[in-house]
Amino acid sequence: MISWPTNVVARMGPAADRFYTAVAEGRLTHDGDRRLAAHLAHAVTKLTSYGPVPVKENRASRRRIDLAVGAVLALDRAAATPRSSGMVYAFR
């Protein structure tokens, strides 16, 4: 387990940019899970000096984006994990 504060845009911006780029280039897809799809659809992009970050449409919104943020974090950690560690993941 690691600490990964999602409110630190200096860290979240590059991670979200990597995620968006991988999706746009067709190197990252998901299995069609309806919850993940909904959370991705709920997220809006806030442009920061560190890159785009996913945020809720407004602070009071009840539309969740937790799974979208989790997907960004998962890709960030998978990309940072040496392939020799024995972990199995697909990132083309």
Six token digits for residue 8:
């630190």
- pLDDT band of 72, cuts 50, 70, 90: very high
Q: How far apart are CA 50 and CA 2, in angstroms?
A: 22
pTM of the entire predicted model: 0.83
pLDDT reported for residue 85 = 52
Say yes or no to pLDDT of 65 above 90. yes
The answer to whether 91 and 22 are in contact (CB under 8 A) is: yes
Instruction: Please give the average per-residue pLDDT across 59-68, as a whole number.
Output: 96
Looking at residue 6, its amino acid is T
